[in-house]
Amino acid sequence: MKAFLRVLVRIPRAAIAVCVLAAVLLAAVGVFRGGTTLQQLFAENARLKEAISNLTDEGNIGYAKVLFQKTDESGEVLSTELKFVETARDNELETVLEKRYVIEGDIVHFDALIVKFTDKMVMGGSRKSLYLWRRVYGENQSPGEGFAIETPGREPRRYQTLLDQLPVEHRRLFWSSIWDLANDPYRLKEYGIEAIYGSVTYAKLKPGLLYIFRITATGQVYPDIVPDL
């Protein structure tokens, strides 16, 4: 024991400090409030798995409509003002999000993030998916110049009741992680997620029409165009 203490005394203080700091960092990696790690949340939380299992096949998820279109004074540049509406999961007549955008031109892109869960995360073995609206942008804009729909990292309004059985800190960890994992595909399968990918649909918008967005069970988003009655 004395020999060990003599060796320990010879170790430079800086090295000891580095070791202590490394231990603290290792203990902190992946830890969220309350000591829950991301891996624990995805792998061991039965209530989270049950919530994901309760996701139903999505149908109508909202719509867009043209409020007006006009050209500038030169008569050459067209702009479109549109209303974008997202509806509740259990009631297509209930609005959970409504925004207005002015886009140059009449061809508008709607960008969503699709999340597909493997049977590892779903009770009963039936794969499920959900989506997160990201942004809307015109033909003459880059995606990065688009206008935000949902705020990255936050709980989407359409899914506010999905994780009601989880503590608030776990819900925050889940949604912030979903957004973050989109940029880290190597970690997806570790957490029972088959894929996170972008899905962009676009349409040439005209007044007098409703562009009803639908999503299939496989995560395909597309607009169904009907007259605005």
Looking at the structure of the chain, the number of domains it has is: 1
Rama region for 208: left / alpha / beta (φ>0; ψ in -120 to 50; rest): left
pTM for the structure as a whole = 0.74
| 86: containing domain | 36-227
Q: Is residue 3 part of a domain?
A: no
pLDDT tens-digit readout, 116-159: 776 666 655 566 778 889 899 999 899 889 999 988 888 888 88
d(CA 151, CA 13): 46
pLDDT tens-digit readout, 88-119: 887 888 999 999 999 999 999 999 888 877 66
Q: Is residue 27 part of a domain?
A: no
Is 211 a residue whose pLDDT tops 60? yes
In terms of C-beta density within 10 A (0-12 exposed, 13-18 middle, 19 or more buried), how is residue 5 classed? exposed
d(CA 81, CA 72): 13
Mean per-residue pLDDT, 67-84:
91
φ/ψ of 204, rounded to 5, equals -85, 110
The two tokens of residue 57 are 């096949």
Q: Is residue 17 part of a domain?
A: no
